[in-house]
Chain A
Amino acid sequence: MTRITIGPFNRVEGDLEVRLDVESGRVQRAEVTAPLYRGFEQILEGRPPLDALVLAPRICGICSVSQSVAAAAALRHAMGTEAAPNGLLATNIAHAAENAADHLTHFYIFFMPDFAREAYASQDWYQETRERFAATRGSAARDALPARARLLETMGIIAGKWPHSLAFQPGGATRAIELGERVRLLSIVTSFRTFLERTVFADTLENMLSLSTADELDRWRAGRSGDFAHFLRLADSLALSELGKGPGVLMSYGAYQGADCGLFPRGIVGPDMVVEPLPLSQISEDVSHAWMRDCSSDPAHSNTVPDPDKAGAYSWCKAPRLSGQPVEVGAIARQTVAGQALIADLVAPSGTNVRNRVIARLIETARIALAMEQWTRALRLSEPFCAPSQEMPDGAYVGLVEAARGSLGHWVAVRGGKIERYQIIAPTTWNFSPRDSLGVAGPLEQALVGTDVGEAGARSVAVQHVVRSFDPCMVCTAH
């Protein structure tokens, strides 16, 4: 048995170290470490509750809207008030823009460059892939970065700026949109659709979303140009559907807000593919292998206090569990729980894996591009965008949203007009959790077991595909 340490693990958001025990060229055991702790939960304690709207988004520069929306949802719950419907629509549009930008950033900047590495020089697709996807030098970045910047102009209109906006409030959003601005928003959404249809899919979004089986996807991609079809060819060539299998249970808190309860539903789904209600009270956090002091396992009652010298610990990340089990979150979980036909047909036989995670992200991007257009048209321009704030009585409150990378929850306890406790469980906290007190490994730790690293050891590109297929956000993980 050889133990190898991989780090710095870059082209993820934030800091990550992975340790692998390897025997006969295969990973036997993995330990995943979040090596950065900043202490946001400690920083928030004792402050006025609304200050969370300034501080909590700054956990993450890549999903600050998600953190904002989670904080605003928790505080809205604390106020016992309802947001202005326009405010929720504007929030949805901005949140969708951020999530779509994240999916693009992941695909083009973080994930695809691994296929342009020297390790694949003997493949017949190598030259084409290198020209298109090489990190910082490939032609894809010249297409994707301007498209991303244009999409983020949504933020200039709705949120003032990105990242780190204060526009998302318990009562809605701080800026009433006028007719000219709605037209500008539609223009941005149309540009985004054009980028997706020309560059990513080489087909219309409607055609993409009409594909409902793995066979249809195979027929669709034959001879097709576009970066998605290119990825599907690589996925076949490298058998990415057999790489990085997840733990089996998928969870979604439900995504986007509205009178009709949002775009993607809340729920959990197991290997039997039956969607069931989410037992919220069964969420717990274990710190047996985290550099954290023991406290309540219920996020509504726990604190976050570092214990840097704790024996047996190897990460600043806690280990969240649902009914005692690790679960996988992310676009693949959202789309499976939502019953998206193609994703369900891919997940049913092969579960979650490197290929399916990437496909789910891109199919979700097509879905939210269409939703952004509908939400923009649904704004009632003469009506309010923000309901006034209310007093916050003592109590424990929760805000649950879906960030690009999966389920994000903020648990806040208010006492005497101050934050008594603030607990955050971020998507990558779920996916990159360390072991729990029973020794059960987290989802990535499980997904890495069995990976063939061959002679490459720490340089194994397969390990990089598995890790980056989760699109980890390490700055969110330990906060």
Chain B
Amino acid sequence: MSQSNGMTNLLWLQGASCGGCTMSILESGSSGWFDELRQFGINLLWHPSVSEETGEEAAEVLNSVREGRVPLDLLLLEGSVARGPNDSGRFNMLAGTGRSIYHWMLDLAPRADYVVAVGSCAAYGGVPAAGANPTDAVGLQFEGADAGGALGAGFRSRLGLPVINVAGCAPHPGWMMETILALTSKDLSATDLDTYGRPKFVANHLAHHGCSRNEFYEFKASAETMSERGCLMEHLGCKATQAVGDCNQRSWNGGGSCTKGGYACIACTSPGFEDAQNFLETAKLAGIPVGLPTDMPKAWFVALAALSKSATPRRVRLNATADHVVVPPGRTTAKRTP
């Protein structure tokens, strides 16, 4: 049950969460997540959704870690840390223990070789921190885009890493499991994280990369209402050119992604995504989207957009505003209409 027998001890707790990250990771592994963990020598010390130990047995598991009787390799938190009211953490008590998740994390995090924030809530605060943030919710080491959070900007886990932020709402099961396994084999170091603590193997890609609507993007052939096939960036709020994630390069649920599903990327891997408004409507200034691709000068974008719109093939233009393919690919003898 501990490092001495070669197993990696993993403790997973839930703060102000929706449980969605757990639901997502339960899809991992061809013979199920539990089998996958075993195959890699990972001992699930306790997980609130799946473990047998309940009540005082579960509290004993947590106390054994807090008191250093059981070594902790990986500490994962799903959900934000609700610090309120008045820094008491009482909006999120860990049942039966008389202590808040906030205070449990302050105790447990220094005990762990690595600390992982699972999902955008644990990473940056996420949806519970939206609007007026009624529970004073923060991430483990970030409050939105600002370093700090529940553990403080200076926190380092026992092996010297900051909190590893597997952002996303919910994150892809692969992002979570690959992070766990890279840590288990000690293959992930501080240089493998971006400035928001996200593993670069996810954060070095944009959600836009591999988007099935790419041809529509190239020609700025845009969908105008929901369910149309065109690019979702110009009118329907898509932030995939600004949000990190390999969402469109790997399949979700056997073949999907948000943009394949017909709706905009809302940048759920980004700190503070929850504070946007009118998610499915593109904010514009003088007819030009405010959120342009991260690394592209505005003038270039405007010039290229005008040029590509003038060159849009009829097939692409007509399909963009249809919900079914109305013009299939193929050579056409018809005259091109402007």
Q: How far is the CA of A160 from the CA of B248 in the complex (A)?
A: 10
Question: With A157-B255, A162-B253 as given contacts, are A36 and B55 in contact (CB-CB < 8 Å)?
Answer: no
With A11-B54, A148-B27 given, can you name 16 additional A-B contacts, CB distance below 8 Å? A5-B96, A7-B97, A8-B94, A8-B96, A9-B96, A35-B92, A39-B135, A55-B127, A61-B17, A61-B20, A62-B20, A146-B32, A161-B257, A173-B262, A176-B262, A389-B225
**Mask: chain B, 225-250; 1 = CB below 8 Å from A; 0 = not:** 11100000000000000000000000
Q: Are B263 and A167 in contact (CB under 8 A)?
A: yes
Tally of contact residues, A, Cβ under 8 A: 93
The closest CB in chain A to the CB of B21 belongs to: A61
Question: With A8-B54, A13-B49, A156-B256 as given contacts, are A61 and B23 in contact (CB-CB < 8 Å)?
Answer: yes
A247 part of interface (Cβ distance < 8 Å): no
Q: Are A160 and B261 in contact (CB under 8 A)?
A: yes
Whole-angstrom distance between the Cβ of A406 and the nearest chain B Cβ: 17
The closest CB in chain B to the CB of A37 belongs to: B91
B191 part of interface (Cβ distance < 8 Å): no
The closest CB in chain A to the CB of B34 belongs to: A136
Question: With A153-B255, A160-B257 as given contacts, are A47 and B56 in contact (CB-CB < 8 Å)?
Answer: no
Complex A-B, nearest 5 residue pairs according to Cβ-Cβ distance, in ascending order = A160-B261, A61-B20, A7-B96, A7-B95, A174-B262
How many pairs of residues, A versus B, come closer than 8 Å at their CB atoms?
A: 287
Which DSSP category, helix, strand, loop or mixed, fits chain B's interface? loop
CB-CB under 8 A from B82, the residues of chain A are 36-38
CB-CB under 8 A from B91, the residues of chain A are 36-38, 306, 308, 316
Q: Are A145 and B34 in contact (CB under 8 A)?
A: yes
Within 8 A of A (CB), among B252-294: 252-264, 266, 268, 274, 277-280
Q: How far is the CA of A128 from the CA of B20 in the complex (A)?
A: 32
A449 part of interface (Cβ distance < 8 Å): no
Q: How far is the CA of A110 from the CA of B274 in the complex (A)?
A: 31
The closest CB in chain A to the CB of B223 belongs to: A174
Question: With A37-B91, A136-B44, A137-B34 as given contacts, are A385 and B50 in contact (CB-CB < 8 Å)?
Answer: no
Within 8 A of A (CB), among B30-53: 30-35, 44, 48-53
CB-CB under 8 A from A43, the residues of chain B are 127-128, 130-132, 134
CB-CB under 8 A from B254, the residues of chain A are 149-150, 152-153, 156-157
12 contacting pairs across A/B (C-beta < 8 A): A38-B128, A142-B32, A156-B256, A156-B260, A158-B261, A160-B257, A160-B263, A166-B280, A172-B227, A306-B91, A386-B227, A389-B225
Question: With A142-B32, A173-B227 as given contacts, are A386 and B323 in contact (CB-CB < 8 Å)?
Answer: yes
Question: With A8-B95, A64-B20, A382-B324 as given contacts, are A152 and B52 in contact (CB-CB < 8 Å)?
Answer: no
Within 8 A of B (CB), among A110-151: 110, 113, 116-117, 134-137, 141-142, 144-146, 148-150
Q: Are A156 and B251 in contact (CB under 8 A)?
A: yes
Q: Are A386 and B48 in contact (CB under 8 A)?
A: no
A384 part of interface (Cβ distance < 8 Å): yes
